[in-house]
Each structure stands twice: as C-alpha cells, then as structure tokens.
Structure 1
C-alpha cells in the first residue's frame, strides 16, 4: 500500500501496527458495497426507463 507522504492522516496510519489488516478490511467492505449496489440496480430495471 502506498501512502502520500505528509498527507492527512499519514503519520497516524503509519503508526498503526495492524494497518495492513485494516486496509484489507476497508477494501473488502468497499467491494461488498459495490456488489450490493450492482445487485440492486439489476433488480430494478423498471426505474431506469
């Protein structure tokens, strides 16, 4: 994972011992949100007309 040096929260995130686990969890949760959104969009085709 690449962080922006001197960016907001950089020092805090860098100091976290489990930052890789947290990043993986955030990525997983984001994927779940997108999948849920896509399922809802596919199920409601009448709203797109």
Structure 2
C-alpha cells in the first residue's frame, strides 16, 4: 500500500514540476517579447503562483 502511495505521489510531483517548468519557459518567452501586460502572461503568472 505504501509503495503505491509513494509511486502515485512521485508521479504527481513529476507532473507538477513539469508544468511549473513549462509555465516558466512560456513566461520567459513572453517577457522577452515585451508582452508582460497580456492576458496570457497574467494567466501563466497566476498558474505559477498556485504551485
């Protein structure tokens, strides 16, 4: 039982970290283009704050 829980947790953690990295990369691209005021950038910023 504990091994299944640990495996599920590690899978979830990998997904969260992957999403966080993806969000950070997208935000960096938008910032480089000077698009910090866009709705997309602000939504990504809010998503990043959740994790």
**Structure 2, gaps ≥5 residues long:** 38-51
TM (norm. structure 1) is 0.61
TM (norm. structure 2) is 0.59
Aligned length: 33
Structure 1 residue runs of 4+, over 4 Å off?
none
**Structure 1, gaps ≥5 residues long:** 1-16
More helix as a share of residues? 2
Alpha-carbon RMSD across the aligned residues, in angstroms, is: 1.1
